[in-house]
Amino acid sequence: MKIADFLSQWTGRPVTDLFSAEPLVAVVFDGNGVPSLARWSPSLGVAPTAADLAAAIAAPDPAPGPAQLNAWAAAKVPGLLALMRTYAAAGATLKSDATPATLSDLLALITWGEANPTASQNWVANDLTVTPITGAQFVALAVEVGTYAQSVYAALATVLGEIEAGTIAAFAAIDAFAWPV
């Protein structure tokens, strides 16, 4: 795909609007010489060429700032909580995720489990695994799943602290962090 066609699709504007005698897009350079695309105006001088646009597209991305890094780290949490894990809960081996919906279900089941420790109900994991378990096992499962969820949130707090301290300054460092699985 040509760069002009890509920009046309991206902006929803026809190529002729973007690259006519009065183009709407220009390549500008910041104080460090890093090129980027900007709205073109006569004050910018010469209209952009295809080579200018190719250089801007090929330029390395600038380093992410703390807000971008924080968002990247926070985006890890839902995926970690959605992992289907196996737990040992009061003699039963059970599968569960730790999503907010599952944690909410387990909180309600704690009340039932404490009142009916020997009664049995089916636990249906989000992967549709059905396992009959006792009230006492529901309570134990809730503790295990809640502990895992808290470890995910503790890891996030550590990463956010390292971003604030400047020891994490790249997306790759967040990806390489020892997240709980």
pTM of full prediction above 0.95: no
- For residues 149 and 37, the model is more confident at 149
User: Can you give the residue range of the structural domain that contains 70?
Assistant: 66-176
Question: Following DSSP, what letter does each residue of 95-159 receive, concatenated?
Answer: EE---HHHHHHHHHHHHHHHH-TT-EEEEE-TT--EEEEEHHHHHHHHHHHHHHHHHHHHHHHHH
State pLDDT tens for residues 36-74: 666 655 555 666 666 766 766 676 667 889 999 999 999
**Secondary structure class of 70 (helix, strand, coil):** helix
Domains identified in the chain, total number = 2
- For residues 97 and 14, the model is more confident at 97
* Residue with token string 């010469």: 46
State what percent of residues in the chain have pLDDT above 90.
62
Residues 6+ apart with CB under 8 A from 158: 177
**Which of these three, 36, 58, 80, is where a domain ends?**
58
pLDDT in the model for residue 81: 96
> 96 and 116: one domain?
yes
> 86 and 129: one domain?
yes
69: burial class by Cβ within 10 Å (0-12, 13-18, 19+)? buried
Interatomic CA distance for residues 3 and 54, integer angstroms: 7
> 77 and 96: one domain?
yes
